[in-house]
Amino acid sequence: MYKTEEEFLKNYNPKDYDQLSMTSDILLLSISSEKQENYRKINEKKLSILLVKRNEFPYKDKWCLPGGFLNPNTETLEDTAKRILKKEVNLENIYMEQLYTYDNVNRDPRCRVVSTSFIALVDKNKITDKINPNASWFNMEFITDNDKNIKINLDNGSVSFKIECKKSIDAASRSVKYELTKNDFIAFDHPLIIFNGIERVRNKIEYTDLVFYMMPKYFTLGELQKVYEAILNKKLLEPAFRRTIASKVKKTNYVQTGEGHRPSVLFTYKKG
Amino acid sequence: MYKTEEEFLKNYNPKDYDQLSMTSDILLLSISSEKQENYRKINEKKLSILLVKRNEFPYKDKWCLPGGFLNPNTETLEDTAKRILKKEVNLENIYMEQLYTYDNVNRDPRCRVVSTSFIALVDKNKITDKINPNASWFNMEFITDNDKNIKINLDNGSVSFKIECKKSIDAASRSVKYELTKNDFIAFDHPLIIFNGIERVRNKIEYTDLVFYMMPKYFTLGELQKVYEAILNKKLLEPAFRRTIASKVKKTNYVQTGEGHRPSVLFTYKKG
DNA sequence: TGAATAGTGTCTGTGAGACAATATTAT
DNA sequence: ATAATATTGTCTCACAGACACTATTCA
């Protein structure tokens, strides 16, 4: 055929083959802090995610993860994700990691679309203005402690709905598969991305410092523990928690007062 | 614009937007067993990977991972990977998991190609005939114990070459990045896939049963330990290894004899 | 004063690291 | 007999789970 690579490349036309579109979808996670009626009680912590209400076909009026099409000429998938986040919540330089690539043949009714998903973590307090009016934070509540049937309630203050799935774990590879059993409000296969992303974060906060991307600069160990508990959806023992977290935090000279109980020392994240 | 989703979809033409091509690349791993001169010595175990010699542009005459273009109309990326494996090594129903999606804008000189990579594990003994003549198993040798600069020697009996990289670990997320420092023989960004894949397998054999996909039906605990050591690139203590592996294996009534030392009991994989 | 959280002490059991000792084979 | 591996015993140390105890604040 061709004698040199240059010659080959000059004659190569990608349009001779079937092509496809790709999107980046972002699971943006943060922590909500809900004031309690009882002044003594500590603020409740919940994991929350950003959803966007679609005002175009397909899945018009359903909620979905922020996402958008890759520009194949200029962008990496992470570039796309960053561009979308900038647009939706006006945020830059936040933590992001690739989650998984979703590629069911019929996952998008428009055409063949393969989507690479990303997990992004942020301290919600940093987001103040210029959030897309169609975007909204939903607090997550894990309804079941059951490890097989996972029920999640999503609530943004005015809308509330549930997604449910059956989780199965392959014995040998420990890889997790989710079979969606309930979903009336979320578009595409995005519920699966949510389930998988939470799984990833749950695993990783046990052996990484990922939580701190969602924490404010100063926090108490009690708050930090509540955040762990919200993500893992289980109670932790205080002494054990403090022992294991000790190497990751640094005590400050500040304390948090005015709360009807012994004031707690404020800590910051200690790298390394 | 459109009043119904059907109407919208009828008028939607993906060709109005820039599209791209995708490939699946497969890191097929197995274990080699090398006879020693000394009849008493146990067979040496090495991790080995399948590479294919390219006989077309681009990267003509270089080696690469088995891979191929996704057919966007019919296939998932895993379907593509399976089709390729069937073609290259005539194997079906082997273990496979998605590794990572590689999407540098210029990673392929032909056009924009995003590649999703898969890890596949197999017991090499099952592969006997009908292997693609351009494909070849390369034994891997980790030259440095250094955790930052990773040097891997690849050898298929007639060709031998090295790939090297600098590994850096993000403190907070524990995510690993590789910067390629030496590679003269492997096409595309496939060395990165190799480094990442080995990392994944190393992590996962510690808490999953993945090794057994690469083991024959019957094996001794000594062999199994050698396999772990080959993958992890470090010596393990025997009593500790046996304690931890105990729940995953089942003793049989067979022993392996004829080897100049106390015969060892043959074990099989025990699920659950 | 008391409700509520903050923070510390310590006992126990599990499991990995380390080293030692014994067992069995082909040449 | 010996080299080489197979297999088991056991001591120690680190660390998580569990529970108990003390400290401090504001209404």
Give the β-pairing of A21-34 and A113-121.
parallel
Report pLDDT digits (tens) over A42-77: 999 999 999 999 999 999 999 999 999 999 999 999
What is the pLDDT averaged over residues B138-154? 92
C-alpha–C-alpha distance, residues B223 and B198, integer Å? 20
- Please tell me the predicted confidence (pLDDT) of residue A15: 81
Distance D8 C1' – B257 CA (angstroms)? 20
Residue A221: nearest nucleotide (C-alpha to C1')? C6
Residue A67: exposure state from Cβ atoms within 10 A (0-12, 13-18, ≥19): buried
- Please tell me the predicted confidence (pLDDT) of residue B194: 98
In B, minimum Cα distance to A177 occurs at: B97
List the structure tokens of A48. Answer: 């929350």
What is the pLDDT averaged over residues B132-138? 94
| Contacts of B53 by beta carbon, 8 Å cutoff, 6+ apart | B61, B62, B63, B134, B135, B136
B-chain CB neighbours of A18 within 8 Å are 71-73
Report residue B17's pLDDT band, with 50, 70 and 90 as the boundaries.
confident
What is the pLDDT averaged over residues B230-245? 97
For the cut 80, the answer to whether the pLDDT of residue B136 exceeds it is yes
- Please tell me the predicted confidence (pLDDT) of residue B169: 93
Please provide the DSSP assignment of B53-121 as one string: E--SSSSTT-EE-SEEE--TTT--HHHHHHHHHHHHH---S-EEEEEEEE--TTSSSSS-EEEEEEEEE
- Please tell me the predicted confidence (pLDDT) of residue B15: 81
Report pLDDT digits (tens) over A201-213: 999 999 999 999 9
Closest among A66, A127, A57, A49 to A92, alpha carbons compared: A127
- Please tell me the predicted confidence (pLDDT) of residue A30: 97
C-alpha–C-alpha distance, residues B67 and B80, integer Å? 8
Residue A265: nearest nucleotide (C-alpha to C1')? C6
Report residue B44's pLDDT band, with 50, 70 and 90 as the boundaries.
very high
Closest among B204, B19, B252, B247 to B99, alpha carbons compared: B204
User: Which strand D bases fall within 7 angstroms of a protein CB?
Assistant: 3-10, 15-20, 23-27
- Please tell me the predicted confidence (pLDDT) of residue A167: 95
pTM over 0.85: yes
Residue B42 is classified by DSSP as P
SS3 of residue A102 by DSSP: strand
Other Cβ atoms within 10 Å of B39 Cβ, number: 10
- Please tell me the predicted confidence (pLDDT) of residue A125: 86
For the cut 90, the answer to whether the pLDDT of residue B2 exceeds it is no
Of B17, B58, B72, Cβ closest to residue A69: B17
Of B19, B76, B172, Cβ closest to residue A212: B172
Report pLDDT digits (tens) over B111-134: 999 999 999 999 998 887 778 999
Q: Are the CB atoms for B1 and B9 separated by under 8 Å?
A: no
- Please tell me the predicted confidence (pLDDT) of residue B54: 96
* β-strand partners of B152: B142, B163
Q: Which residue has the higher pLDDT, B44 or A272?
A: B44
Closest Cα in chain B, distance from residue A117 (Å): 10
Residues lower than pLDDT 70 in chain A: none
Residue window 83-102, chain B: list those with CB within 8 Å of chain A: 95, 97-98, 100-101
- Please tell me the predicted confidence (pLDDT) of residue A74: 97
Give the residue ranges with Cβ < 7 A from strand D. Answer: A 39, 237-240, 243-244, 257-263; B 38, 40-42, 220-223, 238-239, 242, 255, 260-265
Distance D22 C1' – A40 CA (angstroms)? 20
- Please tell me the predicted confidence (pLDDT) of residue A66: 98
Please provide the DSSP assignment of A192-203 as one string: HHHHHHHHHHHH
Residue window 154-183, chain A: list those with CB within 8 Å of chain B: 171-175
- Output the CA–CA distances (angstroms, integers) from residue A220 to A41, A250, A271, B164, in the order listed: 14, 11, 17, 44
What is the pLDDT averaged over residues B27-40? 94
- Please tell me the predicted confidence (pLDDT) of residue B264: 96
List the structure tokens of B108. Answer: 């392929």
- Please tell me the predicted confidence (pLDDT) of residue A9: 85
Under an 8 A CB cutoff, do A20 and B22 touch?
Answer: yes
For the cut 90, the answer to whether the pLDDT of residue B215 exceeds it is yes
Of A103, A172, A175, Cβ closest to residue B76: A103
Residue A124 is classified by DSSP as G
Residue window 104-143, chain A: list those with CB within 8 Å of chain B: 104-105, 109-112, 114, 116
